[in-house]
């Protein structure tokens, strides 16, 4: 019999002692899960778990991308220059207007004009423009912020003050003066250093002057410290959360974001590289404009920072409002764009586009194995995808024969290396579909489950969704010989009002804080404990317990078995495990468990760790043992073994 290390109870109670509420009851007759630990059934894909994101729910701007200023390019609408306000301190009198006639570059031809009618010399008198950030600007003590702006002044030699100001006190908590602003557009950079202060997002950014005159500002920027200190890089807390997911790839840049509503609004990668001042920004399909700070190279550097590979999605000639490019001559320039893009990413610095990447600061090529042509082309009512895919496929393979080309929907009349399947379901629908790939032809087209999620919970999934996700993941793991890649979507949401366009997103955040949903922790557990071999595991025919799901993988080097067992019932479930074929099975294992009192239970920005994995040793394991799964629980049991 097994003994729990914490309470010394017997093995049957090992899991119960940790989590089972008093009301939980094990069923009378345990079901037997038979595991063949002799020969592995198949190799599991080493890239099964990855990431998928796009610019949705303020995922990059106002999310992962570290920039703190909102509308840093001073775009204006009927309501004025959005997210910027006039700041008049003391006796200053000024006005602020969009100026369509001048801007810092051809890509950014407009700016904001600050006209200061009067301001007396003396402390406290200043006129300027203030940015509110993305639902505030997070400011922390003893922190260095990198600030920059483009400016020109009617009177050369002007001084601009750059400051971080508290919303509550109106006082600057960090300030620098930038003298010598000339009459031609130029970039000015400085650092803002904070001291002791109240950590919060209740701060704003101000560019101000203390002399009457006319001033223009364009492309301003404010960055906090970033992950791995990358200049213009990513938010640290969010990158740490991604790293903990043990991803192996990033599908980028979308999603619908790749396609755009219209062809002209696609992710036009050539307009997203090089200095920020040369990036025109573009309208995304999720109701807001992208700064394109997260451009092609930034996506790749994000991969580099996590040590993962990009799965590069190239625009395939279809945009969401039923616009498509005819295959043939009309599509040729788009195919060339994709070839150029692959060269920018993977080419030596001596190639035309590799040289461009080197000029952008990254001489070393990136390694790519997968290129996806388009996104969800099953929605293209023109039926043009078969031919569009074929044209891309043939051109890419001619130059890059080793690349695997992913189709976004099944294609007729042409080879496909991989096909991308998407699933957005309820937990029950996933429970019902866990055997989806069990009968798939092992020699057919490989599968990329490029988007999947249980859509229950708002803004982030609740525990019921985590159960649906975990059940689905057991099915993907059992079939990870044909499923070569998988990625949950969407990954991120800014939880502020107006921040979300799509319900149920894995990780939530505001300007200051972030949290992982129960589904996030389910993925962390599954990806962290995943072997390279799939073992045959099954409940006896007709004896599969309702709402209990399983998969078993093994690490071929250490022999460790990873048993994933999901109990979506509100009662405890006993499972008898029969392990055949192992030379030796250790007696002590380690259990990781995620559980909650109800399916509605969840994590929130204010209670971020209500549902997180717990772990404990389980003793008394062997070739045959019994486990009690807590009600509503996702369990990963590590069992040492040798063959």
Sites of contact with ligand AHR (CB under 6 A):
54, 254-256, 375-376, 451, 489-490, 502
Cβ nearer to ligand AHR, comparing 340 with 377 = 377
Q: How far is the CB of 451 from ligand AHR (least distance, A)?
A: 5
- The answer to whether the CB of 156 falls within 8 A of the CB of 183 is yes
Q: Would you tell me the crossing angle of helices 352-359 and 332-346 to the nearest 10 degrees?
A: 50
Cβ nearer to ligand AHR, comparing 61 with 638 = 61
How many Cα atoms occupy the beta-carbon half-sphere of 127 within 13 Å? 22
Strand 93-99 and strand 507-509: the pairing is unpaired
**In 177-276, which ranges are continuous DSSP H helix?**
236-244, 256-259
Cβ nearer to ligand AHR, comparing 517 with 595 = 517
Q: How far is the CB of 455 from ligand AHR (least distance, A)?
A: 10
- The answer to whether the CB of 496 falls within 8 A of the CB of 133 is no
Distance CA 327, CA 282 (A): 25
Cβ nearer to ligand AHR, comparing 255 with 295 = 255
Cβ nearer to ligand AHR, comparing 99 with 469 = 469
Q: How far is the CB of 391 from ligand AHR (least distance, A)?
A: 22
Cβ nearer to ligand AHR, comparing 255 with 545 = 255
Q: How far is the CB of 489 from ligand AHR (least distance, A)?
A: 4
- The answer to whether the CB of 620 falls within 8 A of the CB of 2 is yes
CA distances from 443 to 418, 419, 421, 584 (A): 12, 14, 17, 33
| Residue-by-residue DSSP string for 580-603 | ES-SEE-S-EEEEEEE-SSTT---
Strand 318-319 and strand 309-314: the pairing is unpaired
Q: Whose structure tokens read 């509308």?
A: 71
Q: How far is the CB of 524 from ligand AHR (least distance, A)?
A: 20
Q: How far is the CB of 256 from ligand AHR (least distance, A)?
A: 3
Q: How far is the CB of 251 from ligand AHR (least distance, A)?
A: 10
Cβ nearer to ligand AHR, comparing 421 with 544 = 421
- The answer to whether the CB of 568 falls within 8 A of the CB of 431 is yes
- Residue 618 sits at the vertex; the CA angle it makes with 614 and 622, to the nearest 5 degrees, is 145
Cβ nearer to ligand AHR, comparing 323 with 451 = 451
Cβ nearer to ligand AHR, comparing 62 with 347 = 62
Q: How far is the CB of 274 from ligand AHR (least distance, A)?
A: 26
Cβ nearer to ligand AHR, comparing 54 with 99 = 54
**Which value, in Å, is the radius of gyration of the alpha carbons in the chain?**
28
Q: How far is the CB of 313 from ligand AHR (least distance, A)?
A: 10
Count other C-beta atoms under 10 Å from residue 195's C-beta: 9
CA distances from 263 to 17, 75, 183, 409 (A): 58, 22, 38, 20
Q: How far is the CB of 450 from ligand AHR (least distance, A)?
A: 8
- Stated as kind and residue range, the H or E segment containing 176 is strand 172-181
> Residue 7: what are its φ and ψ, rounded to 5°?
-120, 0
Cβ nearer to ligand AHR, comparing 379 with 400 = 379
| Residue-by-residue DSSP string for 34-88 | EEE-SS-SEEPPTT-EEEE--S-TTSIIIIIB----TTTT--EETTEETTEEEEE
Q: How far is the CB of 445 from ligand AHR (least distance, A)?
A: 20
Distance CA 5, CA 640 (A): 17
């Amino acid at each position: 019999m097994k003994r729990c290390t914490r309470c010394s109870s017997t093995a049957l109670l090992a899991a119960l002692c940790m989590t089972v509420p008093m009301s939980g009851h094990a069923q009378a007759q345990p079901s037997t899960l038979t595991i063949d630990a002799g020969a592995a059934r198949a190799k599991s894909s080493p890239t099964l778990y990855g990431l998928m994101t796009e610019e949705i729910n303020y995922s990059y701007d106002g999310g992962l991308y570290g920039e703190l200023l909102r509308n840093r390019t001073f775009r204006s609408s009927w309501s004025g220059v959005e997210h910027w306000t006039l700041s008049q301190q003391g006796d200053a009198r000024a006005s602020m207007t969009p100026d369509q006639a001048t801007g810092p570059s051809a890509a950014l031809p407009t700016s904001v004009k600050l006209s200061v009618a009067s301001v007396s010399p003396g402390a406290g008198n200043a006129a300027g423009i203030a940015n509110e950030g993305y639902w505030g600007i997070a400011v922390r003590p003893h922190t260095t912020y990198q600030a920059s702006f483009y400016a020109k002044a009617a009177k050369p030699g002007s001084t601009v003050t750059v400051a971080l100001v508290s919303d509550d006190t109106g006082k600057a908590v960090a300030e620098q003066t930038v003298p010598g602003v000339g009459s031609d557009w130029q970039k000015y950079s400085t650092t803002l250093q904070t001291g002791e202060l109240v950590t919060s997002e209740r701060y704003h950014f101000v560019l101000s002057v203390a002399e009457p005159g006319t001033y223009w500002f364009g492309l301003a920027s404010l960055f906090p410290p970033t992950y791995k200190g990358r200049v213009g890089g990513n938010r640290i807390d969010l990158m740490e959360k991604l790293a903990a997911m043990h991803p192996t790839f990033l599908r980028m840049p979308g999603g619908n974001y790749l396609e755009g509503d219209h062809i002209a609004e696609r992710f036009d990668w050539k307009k997203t590289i090089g200095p920020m001042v040369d990036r025109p920004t573009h309208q995304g399909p999720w109701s807001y404009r992208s700064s394109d700070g997260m451009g092609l190279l930034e996506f790749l550097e994000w991969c580099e920072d996590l040590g993962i590979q990009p799965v590069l999605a190239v625009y395939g000639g279809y945009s969401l409002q039923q616009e498509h490019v005819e295959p043939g001559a009309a599509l040729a320039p788009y195919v060339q764009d994709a070839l150029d893009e692959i060269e920018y990413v993977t080419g030596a610095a001596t190639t035309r586009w590799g040289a461009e990447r080197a000029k952008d600061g990254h001489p070393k090529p990136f390694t790519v194995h997968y290129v996806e042509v388009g996104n969800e082309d099953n929605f293209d009512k023109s039926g043009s995808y078969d031919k569009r895919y074929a044209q891309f496929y043939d051109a890419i393979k001619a130059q890059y024969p080793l690349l695997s080309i992913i189709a976004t929907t099944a294609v007729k009349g042409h080879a496909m290396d991989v096909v991308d399947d998407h699933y957005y379901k309820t937990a029950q629908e996933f429970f019902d579909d866990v055997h989806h790939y069990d009968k798939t032809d092992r020699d057919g087209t490989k599968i990329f489950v490029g988007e999947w999620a249980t859509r229950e919970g708002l803004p982030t999934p609740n525990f019921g969704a985590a159960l649906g996700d975990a059940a689905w993941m057991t099915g993907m793991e059992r079939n990870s010989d044909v499923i070569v890649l998988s990625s949950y979507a969407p990954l991120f949401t800014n939880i502020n009002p107006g921040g979300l366009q799509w319900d149920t997103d894995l990780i939530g955040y505001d300007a200051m804080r972030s949290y992982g949903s129960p589904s996030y922790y389910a993925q962390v557990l599954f990806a962290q404990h995943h072997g390279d071999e799939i073992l045959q595991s099954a409940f006896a025919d007709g004896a599969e317990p309702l709402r209990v799901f399983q998969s078993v993988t093994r690490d071929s080097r250490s022999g460790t078995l990873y048993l994933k067992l999901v109990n979506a019932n509100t009662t405890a479930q006993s499972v008898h495990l029969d392990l055949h074929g192992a030379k030796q099975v250790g007696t002590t294992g380690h259990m990781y468990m995620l559980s909650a009192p109800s399916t509605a239970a969840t994590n929130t920005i204010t209670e971020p760790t209500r549902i997180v994995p717990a772990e404990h040793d389980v003793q008394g394991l062997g070739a045959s043992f019994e486990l009690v799964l807590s009600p509503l629980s996702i369990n990963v049991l590590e069992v040492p073994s040798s063959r």
